Chains A and B, each alone.
Chain A
Amino acid sequence: MLCKITCRPISSMHPIVSGLLRHAGQTLAVGLCLAGPWAPRLFAFSSDGSLLTRSFSPTAVLTNSCILVTVNFTNQDTAALRGFCYSDQIPSGLSVTTIAVTSSGQAVTNYTVEAGTNSEVYADCTPYRWILEQPAGFFQFNSIAPGATVQIVYALSSATPGTFSLQQFSWMGFDPISTNEVFGYSETADEQELSFATQPACWLIGARASNGFLVQLNSSPAGNFALETSIDLSSWTPLTTNTSPFAFTDTNQALGGIRSYRARWLP
């Protein structure tokens, strides 16, 4: 099966459900804010002098949201590389959408994305391949010059919650000067678990307490939440991180004025 599709930029795909609990004297508002962590992980490995890295941003999101995968390859050989193909073994259940393929910063438009068959190489995995040039003719003319870089960006998503382990990837190419075949592959350190979770329903309840303001957080199902406060709805200060349900008393009420509270889900 061949496919070549496009996807929106990650900035517009990131899921945020916002809301807040505002405390101004007797007035309370209830809200919720959910946002995933944004902490890319970098792994590297090298083979035959060339370098490929694969990073994820983030590693846990809501279902139907995207995790961005960025692959960077540098040809560290002394000759142009032909027939380059990068392959990622994608666990069953994940959808793959190519975002961009560039070579030394220039967009590549005539690459091919190929999805193999399930369990073709690894059990319960479908190989997705980004092919810059097809042998034997290489007539796409996407050779990779010495020192040149290739970046492949794609998004992974899942419609159902779960944890997926991305274990295997590899690349291959042909070096016409040294008449050598070159390839590389992932190592144990390159394995990455990705989480897709369903958004829990949650709510905040506020009440005066003798020593401040009491915030009660309930959710269904239970989950990890970061409780934060703000006086201007712009900058937010962390109060605590805990597993719902939990209660927290904000004892810093002497400042007065309107204070808002939000809970941010940590999938």
Chain B
Amino acid sequence: MNRSQPRKIDRREFLRRYGIASSALTLSPFFLSRLDAYSQTTSSLTRVYRVTNVTESQGFGIPALLSLMGGIGQFINPTDIVVIKANGQWPNQGYTHTGCIKAVIDTILAIPGFSGEIIICDNLQTGGTVGATGFDAGANSRNNNWPTYNWNQLASNYRSQGKPVATRNWSLTAGGSSFLAAGWTAPTTLPSFISWNPANGEGWGRYFFSCGGQPTFLSCPVFQSPLTPGRLIDLQNGGGVWEGGASGGYTTRRVKVICMPTLNNHSAQPGSQDAAGVTSAIKCFFGATEIPGGAPAHTCALFNGFYAAHGYCQISNGIQTNFGQTIGMLAASYIQNVYAPVLFITGAIYSGWASRGLSAPAGTAVATNTVLACTNPVTLDYVSCRDVISPYAPWLNPDNAQTPSGTPLYQTDQTNNTRQQMLGCINQGIGTINPQQFEIVTADCNAAPSGTRAAVEQKIRDFKAGNASEQDVKNALQNYMQTNQ
């Protein structure tokens, strides 16, 4: 089997390549043009960035990860409203590691002149379990996670320091009532995007289309900033900021979304995979859109005549056939028709190899101490599953049990639904798992520094004395810049 092996590319080469791509991404004002730029600039190689052996003292590797990518400034501007779309539904390792979120926030707040806002968001199906979600996890629900704070506490702590950080559970309105299906307007044709006018306050923009031959919808919120009264954060049309109420308008600020998924096995039983496959970047879009409870949930139940992302909308003779691939198709549709996050960061400090949220029995999660990032969720999930979690959960290895030739794309065995997620996206033009089309840029926080300041100064001394070349100095300097921790 031909696999893309982790390759530590030359930093000079990496920055040369990535600097061009990231500039194009950042300068494009709307997500469609960003997508266009993205597809153009990644015509050579997609890159997944991975930092291993991370520790809390090193910001869980987040600063190093973003540095490998050219810095947070490649993705976020000083005036941006940043939405961190995390996974908040489940307790313990089931919600996005709070320490990783904190490290990303710290990095954004350090952008010179940052005047925007940072809001940690997610939808919770049926509201989640009180005291056991990322927003409000009690101390006994923070196993295999950052024990100090849950998300609400983290944001509150920032605000006590005068820093613009808040949380928002999209399941609820700013007033605390159900936000589900607010302002619902049925389409007259498919596909169509029915936008929400921020002049009317909070609401949802919805994209209606046919997925697998079934009427389906995806949505994104227009929501009140928890930090600035009268400011509405609009994720439609690539993300804008509305101020001034009914007679107001859009400001020059932009909204940027960073998806920060977990890395978990959705099944509660070791040795088996869920029909959805792994819970990570692709599936992160499940909580970006409205999540009707369904009656019953996890069936083909319609919601106002349309399947939600959480419904089994790809059916054949009334039977769900390939939920994994449906998830991938929906994620791709979301990126292409609703909004495109600027970055995906997987916080695999712990990986729930046997459960998305159970902390017992012991061993359902393992400390993998790894963070990864990519600008598409597919390649990111591929590397995360193949290299980080599958050593503990081989049924999540997307390379295992590939679809045999001549058989339907879906699989009902234990090893392929995760791959189907990825194929669902790839088939719509998002991401790649082709080893010839991506590479992995790595950093290891345990690596002993091989370059030192003294070594550089000694080379400069030798160069001045005629005992070394300028290139010798630069080599020592590059070694220092690349490997020193």
Contact = CB atoms under 8 A, between A and B. Distances in A.
B461 interface: yes
Interface string B100-133: 0000000100111000000000000000000000
Q: What is the interface of chain B mostly: helix, strand, loop, or mixed?
A: helix
Given A139-B64, A183-B477, A121 B485 contact: no
A139 B67 contact: yes
A176 B70 contact: yes
B134 to A, nearest CB: 25
19 contacts: A87-B457, A114-B453, A116-B454, A121-B458, A129-B453, A135-B484, A136-B485, A137-B59, A137-B63, A138-B71, A172-B453, A172-B480, A176-B15, A176-B70, A180-B12, A180-B474, A183-B473, A185-B460, A185-B464
Interface string A230-243: 00000000000000
A246 interface: no
A137 B460 contact: no
Given A134-B484, A137-B58, A137-B63, A179 B12 contact: yes
A122 interface: yes
Contact of B477 (A129, A138, A181): A181
Contacts of A131: 453
Interface in B1-55: 11-13, 15-16, 19
Interface in A141-175: 141, 143, 168, 170, 172, 174
B180 to A, nearest CB: 40
A136 B460 contact: no
Given A127-B457, A183-B460, A137 B477 contact: no
B443 interface: yes
Given A139-B59, A141-B111, 16 more contacts: A83-B481, A87-B457, A114-B453, A135-B483, A136-B443, A136-B482, A136-B485, A137-B64, A137-B67, A138-B63, A139-B107, A172-B480, A174-B477, A177-B19, A181-B477, A181-B478
Q: Which of B58, B107, B457, B484 has the most CB of A within 10 A?
A: B457
Interface of A: 82-83, 85, 87, 114, 116, 120-122, 127, 129, 131, 134-139, 141, 143, 168, 170, 172, 174, 176-177, 179-181, 183, 185
Given A176-B19, A177-B19, A138 B457 contact: no
Contacts of A139: 59, 63-64, 67, 107
Contact of B461 (A168, A172, A176): A168
Nearest to B485: A136
Contacts of A137: 58-59, 63-64, 67, 485
A135 B482 contact: yes
A253 to B, nearest CB: 60
Given A121-B457, A135-B484, A179 B58 contact: no
A127 B456 CA distance: 12
Given A120-B454, A127-B457, A136 B464 contact: no
B110 A141 contact: yes
B454 A136 contact: no
A141 B72 CA distance: 10
Nearest to A89: B457
B473 A87 contact: no
Q: Which of A83, A136, A185 has the most CB of B within 10 A?
A: A136
